[in-house]
A = this chain, B = another copy of it.
């Protein structure tokens, strides 16, 4: 055997020659192989487990002898007998290289492991949280060299982990001395290392090797709901996802009514701040309970939210956001103590808020950008986060544009006569027979269609209670396809449509979807007013997207991502029939689910992504729809179903919309007023 041996690591493929006797962990570090260790190679944390391969590796051109690694030493034996080791595994810090060897680093031994995301087109998350654990051995105090325990602990971090300078969160001072003595001068510290120039900060100290968990929360703070993902910062796993209603709802359903509340009431903003922080604390408590963890082990939290929520959560009066020029108090990302936000978590826990893009385009849009990464896309990507305010991104590697558009709450089933929130009993899918004009539908909580046998029994418990947001989109699109609604958005009379489900409803016509009144249930209908609401909402959304396309200098996009919980349920075909989104091949329209929440999770699990999204946001071109004259023009055209002027060639190849016009010249009734103009 020569004095040196070849070590090849998989899956990285990194290789190098090392003196016989070099521990595998040391070889891995020398080569920059991603092999974890909390204890710094002392054989106690087991994070550096590796799997040596033996025999012929023709691919690598080596044969590994059975004695390529040193025999099990006492430390490894003790570890295995006390804690157990998977068959074939060794401790990388104990096993020494004795001959040429191939070493596999299993995923759980990698520091920067990939966190699984379900969607193929989504960027992967590399685990690199801001808070990590470090085990250290601290020099005992010496009267001849008096220095504080903290100072010797800092020296240990410098000497054992190459962390040159640390600061200490205030609450740590009170527990430091006890932890050091209880751990006999061996402790595990939770260290917060920001990606910016901040000095690393000690958040907590445990006696000895701490093998429990440390956690982070990724929160999407919406106007209606607050959704949180509790993540294990060691593995990147989501332990629990949970949500609750934003308690601010009692001050107003939508953003502008909350801004108004703060204008009209002396302590209105403070009341709303207290309400949202209270709700946030309940959510934190709820997820901690569900996951069975101590909420004091939550050491980091990332928040994304629209600008009004952002300001109210921070304790800033959103007054300025209610009027031009919609000035944010601060637009940059914020790095705070969680305690400053009133959060009852670990007293030294940190909080990070993503940057806001503009006064109407918040940190939630930034989070969507982080999740969907338009700036990394070769294809021209349109990302639409559908909510009461649609936030829209358009871009590719060349540039990214952003705007928001006030869609209102219609897409959430609000202000729709039979509308309701997405809940069991709500109609979510619809098909209308173009010949008979009879609808069949499905409700949330039941997989059967309404004309399937057993549907009545299966829905007896929930009842059929209304139409949810995605249901109303399908409904209106189906009504248009079935010739019940014309391009300008008017419901035809029974004569014009040939349907006895159409009935007079004041000065306009309505469509009967389902009548459960015999069994005490509601009569579910679509009124012309409902159609108008959907027209306004979809026109706002489309004209925002169209404006960005103008600014980009294009008239079509390559790919469309629908973000937002609601976006996940929208049928691309129906959205396109409505003219809610630009014309595109249906297979190029996908849903990203709660992309804002995902963005929050990325920022939580990968600290470098924070600097990255801050940089991206700085480079995003913000378009303020309110001051763009073309927005109004696009809006008017987009009020038509699908559009008064745009051709939608892909859609035309898929469906032929009946060429009907129901306005007979006598005005189109009360629903036709407001903002819509004849195209």
Contact = CB atoms under 8 A, between A and B. Distances in A.
Contact of A316 (B177, B329, B624): B177
A330 B168 contact: yes
Contacts of A627: 143-144
Nearest to A622: B146
A330 B144 contact: no
A328 B149 contact: yes
A221 B315 CA distance: 35
Contacts of A508: none
B314 A173 contact: yes
Contact of A325 (B141, B173, B320, B357): B141
Instruction: Classify chain A's interface size.
Output: 35 or more
B326 A149 contact: no
Interface in A292-348: 314-317, 319-320, 324-332, 336-337, 340
Contacts of A151: 330-332
Interface string A349-372: 000000011110100000000000
Interface in A112-165: 140-144, 146-151
Closest 10 CB pairs of A and B: A148-B331, A146-B358, A141-B327, A150-B330, A148-B330, A148-B328, A143-B624, A143-B325, A141-B325, A170-B340
Contacts of A209: none
Q: DSSP majority for the A interface?
A: loop
B146 A331 contact: yes
A176 interface: yes
A174 interface: yes
Contacts of A328: 146-149
A65 interface: no
Nearest to A358: B146
A359 B146 contact: yes
Contact of A150 (B329, B340, B359): B329
A357 B327 CA distance: 50
Contacts of A458: none
Contacts of A142: 325
B624 A148 contact: no
Residue in A174, A337, A622 with the greatest tally of chain B CB atoms within 10 Å: A174
A356 B149 CA distance: 12
A320 B178 CA distance: 9
A626 interface: yes
B336 A149 contact: no
Given A317-B174, A340-B170, A149 B624 contact: no
A314 B148 CA distance: 14
Contact of A143 (B319, B324, B330, B337): B324
A48 to B, nearest CB: 32
Given A173-B314, A317-B174, A320-B177, A624 B330 contact: no
B624 A144 contact: yes
Contact of A170 (B176, B336, B361): B336
Contacts of A325: 140-143, 146
Contacts of A324: 143
Contacts of A146: 325-328, 331, 357-359, 361, 622, 624
Nearest to A165: B197
5 contacts: A143-B624, A147-B328, A148-B327, A150-B332, A176-B329
B622 A329 contact: no
A549 to B, nearest CB: 19
A329 B177 contact: yes
A670 B357 CA distance: 83
A399 to B, nearest CB: 16
A627 B330 CA distance: 57
Contacts of A177: 316-317, 319-320, 327, 329
Contacts of A357: 146
A288 to B, nearest CB: 25
Given A174-B316, A177-B327, A317-B174, A332 B143 contact: no
Interface in A173-199: 173-174, 176-178, 197, 199
A570 B315 CA distance: 56
B626 A143 contact: yes
Nearest to A170: B340
Contacts of A326: 141, 143, 146
A327 to B, nearest CB: 4
A289 B424 CA distance: 64
Contacts of A337: 170
A330 B149 contact: yes
Interface in A588-633: 622, 624, 626-627
Nearest to A340: B170
Given A148-B331, A332-B148, A315 B174 contact: yes
Residue in A143, A324, A336, A624 with the greatest tally of chain B CB atoms within 10 Å: A143
